[in-house]
Amino acid sequence: MLKKNIHILLIEDNPGDVRLIREMLKKSKLAYSFDHAGTLSDGLVKLKEHAFDVILLDMNLPDSSGLDSIPEIKRVASKIPIVMLTGLDDEETAVSALQLGVQDYLLKDRIDRTLLLHSLRYAMERKRILDALAESEEKYKNLVDNSLVGVYKANLEGEILFANNALARMLEYSSPEEMMSVMALSLYKTPKERRNLLDILIKTGKVNNFEIDAVTKTGKTKSLLLSLTLNGDVISGMLIDISKRKQMEETIKHLAYHDILTGLPNRLLFIDHLRLALSQSSRNQHMVAVLYLDLDNFKEINDSLGHAAGDQLLQAVSRRLKTCLRESDTIARIGGDEYGILLPHADNEEDIVTIAGKIISAFQQPFIIGNHTLHTSASIGISLYPYDGADVETLLKNADAAMYNAKKRGRNNYRFYNPAMNARTLERMKLTNSLRNAIESGELVVYYQPQVSIDTGQILCAEALVRWQHPEMGLLQPMQFIPLAEETGLITQIDDWVLRTACTQNKTWQKAGYSPVSIMVNLSSRHFQQPDFVDTVSQILKETGLEPEFLGIEITERTLMQDIDLTIPYFNKLADTGVRFCIDDFGIGYSSLNYLKKLPVQMLKIDKSFISGLSTDPDYKTITNAVINLAHSLKLRVVAEGVETEDQLSFLQIIHCDEMQGYHFSRPLPAKEFPRFLKPAC
C-alpha cells in the first residue's frame, strides 16, 4: 500500500554495501528518495534536518558500534522505523536490537531486492500503524480533555489521581494538576454527601446519575450529575454540570406559579399555600384568614388610559400591598385586578382588622403612573378558618362573597363573611380603644377580697382584683375585658397599674396602723415573657415602700407551664427578695408535679369549680382531699377559692385546708370598705 514517495536514509560506512543497496532500490518499482550518511553523527545531523520514513542502519559504524547507535537515533527520531543491517556473526545482537525497538534486520550476506523491499514495506506499514495509534491516542486524550463531561479518578482515601480539563473548568480550577492537589472531599458541599455515596459505591460497585451539590474553588455551589464505578480501591467518576438545567427548571417552576406582570404568586400557588396553612392550623389551632381584594375602579382606568397604564398600575398596587404584610403572609394576583391575601397565623381578629385597615389606608395615597395621578381604592372580603369554611374552595368562595358585600356597601372598605364578625369586630375595636383610654383616665379600680385562716378566722391576705368603671356600661368585671387586654397586649399596663395601686394601698393600711397582711396580685403570662419583669416588680416595691414579704404573686397553672425552664430563674430571683408565689386556679390546668418541686411556690389555690362541686359530687371531695394531701407533702399552704357555704367550710376544716376565700366570708370590696377586716397592729 506504499504509494507515496518513501524517504530512505541509509547509515552505512562501507561504500560497497551502499552501492549494492542503491542498485537494488533502483531496480525496484518503489517510489522513493534516498540519502546516505557514512557515520552515525552524520546520520543524526540528517535526521534532524530532514524527514525520513525509514532508516537502514549498519550495525558497525566508525563512530558507534553494536546496539549503541539505536538509542542515539531514537533520541532524535523516535518514531522512524529502523531496519538493521548486520553481518552473519552479528545475528544474536540483531535479535537484541529488535527488543530495543528496531523493526527488522537484514543479513548483509543474504540480502536481495525482494528481501529489502519486503523489509522496507514491513517497517513502513508498522510505522503507519504506530502513527495511527498515536493519533487515535491523541484524539482520545483531546476528547477527554475537551469534553463537557468531567472525568476523574480517585482512591477511596479521597486523593484525586486524575482529572480532565472539563472537570477542572467545571469546578473553577486553573488546571487538572491543581485539582489533583486537593482532596475529593473538599469538592462536596457536605462531607455527609460523599460518605453516603461511598457507602452505596462500596456496597454495589457503582452509582448512576446521582445529583450532588459540589463546591467550586471560589466557593460557589454547582449542581452536578455524578456516575461512579469502583474498581479495586480506585473510583472512576463522570460528572455533568446540570446547574444551568436546574436554573431552567427553577425558572419554569417560577413561571408556572407566578404572575408574569407583577411577579407575585398566582392563583395556583395561593391555593397551595392556603392548603398548607389549613393543614398546619388544624394542628396548632391558629386561625387562618383569607382576604379577597378587588380594585374598585380598575376597569375605568384600563379603558380610558389603555392597558399599558393599567399594567403599570397593577404593578404599583402589588408593590404597595406587599408593604402592608408580614414575611409569613402570602399575597397573590389571582385574577385581572383581584388579589388574594393569606394570613396563615392570625392569632386574633384584631390582627386581621389591623392588616385590612392598613391595606385600605394604603390606597389613600394616589399612584403616579407616567404623567397621570391615579386614585383607586380596594374592597376586601374576609373569610376565616375554621369558622367560615373548612376547605380551600369554601374559604375562597366566602371571601369572594364578602368582597361583593364590601362593594355593595360603598367600596373602599372590608367586610367579614360572617355578619356577626363585622359587628363583633367593631365592638371589640371600640372596646380596645376605650380600654386604652381607661388606664390613662383612671377608670380602673381595684377591689380587695380577704383570704382567711380556716382554723382561726384571721385575715392573712387580700387579693387585688381589678374592675373597670366604664363611663357608659357601668362596673365591668375582669372577665369582660381581661381576655381582650391579653390579646391586645394592654394587660401588661393594666397589671403594672394594679400592682402599683395594690402595693401603695397595702402600705397605706400599714401606715394607718393596721396589722400587716399580704397583698396578692394576679399577673398574666405576658409578664413572664418580658425580660425586665423582675426589675419592674422590684422597682414598684421600692417606689411604694412595701416590704417584699407583704407581696404575693398569683400565677395560673397555664402561665406557669409556658416556657417554664426560661422563667424559673426569674421566679427564683424575686423569691430571693422575699416575694411569695401562689399557683392560682389549681386543678383545671396541667401543672407537672415535677415542676412544682423546682419552683419557689409557697401557696396553692384550689380552683373554685372544685369547691362548688363539693356539695353535689362526692368525687370532688376525694379530689380536693387528695390535692390538699399532695400540697402538704410538698410543704405548700392550700387556699380554697369560692367558698360560699357553711357546708363547704366544714368539709374543708375536716380535711385540713389552710385558708379560704369566698363570698361566705366576703365578696371583693372597694379599698375604702376593706379596713373593716383589718385589726390594729399591736
Q: Which spans of this chain sit near ligand C2E (rule: CB under 6 A)?
A: 449, 465-466, 477-479, 482, 491, 495, 498, 522-524, 554, 584-585, 608, 641-644, 661-663, 668
Beta-sheet pairing, 378-385 with 372-374: unpaired
For Mg ion, give the closer residue by CB, 149 or 445: 445
Cα 164 to the center of its chain, rounded Å = 35
Q: Which is nearer to Mg ion, 289 or 452 (CB)?
A: 452
Q: Quick one: 37 or 640, whose CB is closer to ligand C2E? A: 640
Q: How far is the CB of 502 from ligand C2E (least distance, A)?
A: 8
Could you give the CA distance from residue 632 to residue 612 in angstroms, rounded to a whole number?
22
Least distance (Å) between residue 544 CB and ligand C2E:
16
Backbone phi, then psi, for 662, in 5-degree steps?
165, 170
| Displacement of CA 511 from its chain's centroid (Å) | 60
Nearer to ligand C2E, 58 or 585 (CB): 585
Choosing among ligand C2E, Mg ion, none, which partner's interface includes residue 90 (Cβ < 5 to 8 Å by kind)? none
Q: How far is the CB of 653 from Mg ion (least distance, A)?
A: 21
* Shortest distance (Å) from residue 380 CB to ligand C2E: 34
Closest CA to 385 of 293, 286, 283, 292: 286
Torsion angles phi and psi, residue 323, rounded to 5: -70, -15
User: In this structure, are strands 551-556 and 518-522 parallel, antiparallel, or unpaired?
Assistant: parallel
184 or 643: CB nearest ligand C2E: 643
Provide the grid cell at 334.
389571582
In the three-class reduction of DSSP (H, G, I as helix; E, B as strand; rest coil), residue 173 is classed as coil
Partner from Mg ion, ligand C2E, none binding residue 478, C-beta < 5-8 Å depending on class: ligand C2E
> Do 10 and 25 form a contact (C-beta atoms < 8 A)?
no
Which of the listed partners (Mg ion, ligand C2E, none) does 104 bind, with a CB threshold of 5 to 8 Å by partner kind? Answer: none
Give the integer Cα–Cα distance in Å for 187 and 183: 8
Instruction: Name the residue type at position 75.
Output: R
How many angstroms separate the CA atoms of 26 and 113, rounded? 10
Nearest-approach distance from CB 506 to ligand C2E, in angstroms: 14
Beta bridge partners, 605, equal: 639
Shortest separation between residue 330's beta carbon and ligand C2E, angstroms: 35
Please report the sign of the dihedral spanned by the C-alpha atoms of residue 177, residue 183, residue 186, residue 188: positive
User: Min. distance of Cβ 329 from ligand C2E in angstroms?
Assistant: 31
From ligand C2E, Mg ion, none, interface partner of 658 (C-beta below 5 to 8 A by class) = none
At its nearest, how many Å lie between ligand C2E and the CB of residue 605? 7
* Separation of alpha carbons 341 and 321, rounded Å: 9
Identity of the residue, 329 or 585, whose beta carbon is nearer to Mg ion in the bound complex: 585
Residue with Cβ nearer ligand C2E (296 or 463): 463
Report the partner that residue 349 touches, choosing among ligand C2E, Mg ion, none (CB closer than 5 to 8 A by kind): none
Cell 549503541 identifies what position? 68
- Closest approach of Cβ 669 to ligand C2E, in Å? 10
Which residues lie near Mg ion (CB under 5 A)?
Answer: 522, 554, 584-585, 641
Nearest CB to ligand C2E, comparing residues 164 and 522: 522
Our measurement of the distance from residue 432's CA atom to the centroid of its chain's CA atoms, rounded to an integer in Å, reads 37
Using the minimum distance from each CB to Mg ion, give the nearer residue, 557 or 585: 585
Residue 337 binding partner per list Mg ion, ligand C2E, none, with a CB distance cut-off of 5 to 8 Å that depends on partner kind:
none
Residues in contact with 371: Cβ distance below 8 Å, sequence separation at least 6, in sequence order: none
The three grid cell numbers given for residue 434, joined into one nine-digit string: 376605650
In contact, 247 and 235? CB cutoff 8 Å: no
